Structure 1
Amino acid sequence: MNIQALRDALELQEQAARALADDLREQIDGLQNRLREAETHLEHLAITRTTVTGLADRRPAAAPDLPEHPDHPRILAVFNHATGPRRARDVCQALGHELLPKNVEGTRARLKRLVKLGILIETAAVAVVAVRRCCAAVVSGSVGSSSLPAQLGAGRIEL
């Protein structure tokens, strides 16, 4: 056998192997670039998830819809401006109603209804039942044609 023919055959195989290796290296480089891009995208998604979760945790819970009654938004407005304890009688007076027992009891019933809906919280303290703001819950929406206050107030109501 001719040595030169053997060398030529080896040279051809070597060139083919070198071309294949170069082609594979290019493919690997392309895949590594795509992998870096995918990892960067994953990092951005993780950051976005953390941000959205953090914002969602800060977002106030949605308050339940108020029943249709013109005094409910006004009662919440009384709480919005309250600085201390409020009796049902005080709320009735703040609403501009006459201080008759039927009006005070009607206001007390509406306060109890707001407690039942979870908008106000009722607490007992030394034989006095009080209603205070619901953890600064934001009340949104409207009742009839009047819009609700943005936040419940800081006061309490003694029933």
Structure 2
Amino acid sequence: MNVTELLRLLQVEHDETAARAHSLREQIERLTAELADAEARLAELTATRKVIDGLTPPDHEPPPSETDTVYQRIVTAFNRHPEQVFRVRELHELLGLPTDESSINATRSRLGRLVRQGVLEQPGRGRYQKRT
């Protein structure tokens, strides 16, 4: 390879890199503007929530979220009762979940995953407790 060819390849790579840098700068500018818009909207929502909270009577307890997943409800139950050992059926009764066999088996699988993830421990067969 001669010097002329080497210089030509170097120029091609330089041009490609300069074009990529230009494209990235444009993306940064666009994302910076989008971030500013999102932060402004977030500030508006925070202010609105403060106003609404100020208008809500102090004894108002928000209802449990209907969008909580079963996993969230299970973890919350174990967090509220960290020392208690639950059987699946007892957990279902506490959470107001159906106690049919298929629901129980689905929860048994969920509890197994939580044990494998280290959130819960299994002190005995069919018994679950919050890991301490």
Q: TM-score, normalised by structure 2?
A: 0.41
Larger radius of gyration: 1
The structure with more helix, counted as a fraction of residues: 2
Q: TM-score, normalised by structure 1?
A: 0.35
The structure with more strand, counted as a fraction of residues: 1
